[in-house]
Chain A
Amino acid sequence: MNQKLVNILLVEDDEVDVMNVKRAFSKNNIMNPLFVAGNGVEALEMLENHIIPLPKIIILDINMPKMNGIEFLKIMRENEILKNISVFVMTTSNEDSDKINAYNLNVAGYILKPLSFEKFLTSVATLKNFWQLCEL
């Protein structure tokens, strides 16, 4: 399976969280090219204008300025080219409404950001193992 090399887009406004994802990728030897967008508007711009190669996986925060994760997902799922990208929500929002909206838009998983970096590392390791099972 070659999805080890698929492009991943992280849509996240918090710079500390972006750094944590990068560190967790590096510690787990996840070598996939990782692109970062600071919010939904920026992510759509990057995707629609082909500024980055089409990712197979998107890691999506919910609470972001300009366009939040759910609004981004809605637009993405209506776009013929983008609609089948696998989306993994990674957020601090424990709101039921966010979970319902995200699963109605068929995310592959809704993950609460763990409070400690150690736990975050474990979650990312679990994601890596799961991605390695899947054909995208």
Chain B
Amino acid sequence: MGNASILLVDNRKAIIESFRKSFSEIEVKHTLFSAANENEAWSMLDGSQKLSPVPKIILIDVNRTKNKGIQFLNAIRNHTDLKSILVFVITDSENEINKAAALNLNIAGYIPMSFESQTLNSFVSVLNEYWNIIEFSSQK
């Protein structure tokens, strides 16, 4: 796909920084935006800080905040203009209930990963290769 924007939702500053570093080291051509929580992310998707164009991809660890992440994904899937966003759940913790709920919301992938900088690059590079073989509509 061409250059798209990607929204990373995580309340850990260090992890957002690790992703930025990894995107830069791997030379990911897509633009990375970040939100510290679901509310902030929502305002970037359909609120006062709305990004234009809307991100094609969301990366989120739904296990950070009980069920808030799942509620957020649910709201996306029920929103006419947002429902087509490709969601990748990335997580360093286990939660079978959230995992089942996320898979029921047709996420593109549920990916257990380590956010350690040495291993993060290998995860991001597989994801990046995948993003590069898929097509998106030219709309939005």
- Interface on A for B, CB 8 Å cutoff? 77, 83-84, 86, 94, 96, 99-100, 103-104, 106, 108-112, 123, 126-127, 129-130, 132-136
Contacts and interface: CB of A to CB of B under 8 A. Distances in A.
B99 A135 contact: yes
B108 interface: yes
A132 B139 CA distance: 31
Interface string B58-90: 000000000000000000010000011010000
A119 B130 CA distance: 14
Q: What secondary structure prevails in chain B residues at the interface with A?
A: mixed
B127 A104 contact: no
Interface of B: 77, 83-84, 86, 99, 103-104, 106, 108-113, 123, 126-127, 129-130, 132-139
Given A84-B104, A130-B127, A104 B84 contact: yes
Question: Which of A83, A86, A100, A135: most chain B CB closer than 10 A?
Answer: A135
Given A133-B123, A136-B110, A108 B86 contact: yes
Given A129-B126, A130-B127, 18 more contacts: A86-B108, A86-B109, A96-B137, A100-B84, A100-B137, A103-B136, A104-B84, A106-B106, A108-B106, A109-B86, A109-B108, A110-B135, A129-B130, A133-B123, A133-B126, A133-B127, A135-B112, A136-B110
